């Protein structure tokens, strides 16, 4: 079950994010951030954050990800590590290992990898 704090992340609109990588952007390299970040475009490389990450439904990410909370509505290829939660929506596709205290895989999503839940 997702608690209210995690629902806050799910209820955010685009304007609630400090940075939004637009759908027409293709970025290759390392991204590091400390405020909520939304990806709508394409990213290849690594993502390291001390905040939350939302990968929108049309986004394609080929990167290892480390963040507080990770919401996947698009496609991710890479390992995902979160300090709080990883939530893969029904539209989401995750190919890679996931490590987090809480992992939510909605019905209809795609997940291929190893899931490790650590407190």
Residues 6+ apart with CB under 8 A from 13: none
Does 16 have pLDDT greater than 90?
A: no
Segment 80-93 shows an average pLDDT of 97
- pLDDT attached to residue 4: 44
pTM (global) more than 0.85: yes
How many of the other CB atoms lie within 10 Å of CB of 5? Answer: 10
| Coil, helix or strand at residue 4 | helix
pLDDT in tens, 41-83: 999 999 999 999 999 999 999 999 999 999 999 999 999 999 9
Task: Count the residues in the chain.
Answer: 119
Tell me the sheet residues that pair with 45: 29, 63
Domain ranges in the chain are 4-112
In 3D, which of 94, 95, 70 has the Cα closest to residue 81?
Answer: 70
Distance CA 61, CA 85 (A): 18
């Amino acid at each position: 079950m997702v608690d209210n704090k995690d629902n806050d992340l799910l209820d955010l609109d685009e304007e609630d994010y400090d940075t939004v990588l637009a759908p027409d952007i293709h970025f290759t390299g390392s991204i590091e951030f400390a405020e909520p970040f939304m990806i709508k475009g394409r990213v290849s490389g690594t993502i390291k954050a001390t905040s939350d990450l939302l990968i929108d439904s049309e986004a394609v990410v080929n990167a290892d990800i480390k963040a507080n909370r990770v919401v996947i509505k698009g496609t991710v290829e890479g390992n995902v590590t979160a300090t709080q939660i990883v939530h893969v929506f029904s539209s989401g596709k995750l190919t890679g290992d996931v490590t987090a205290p809480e992992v939510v895989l909605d019905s209809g999503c795609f997940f291929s990898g190893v899931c490790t839940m650590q407190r």
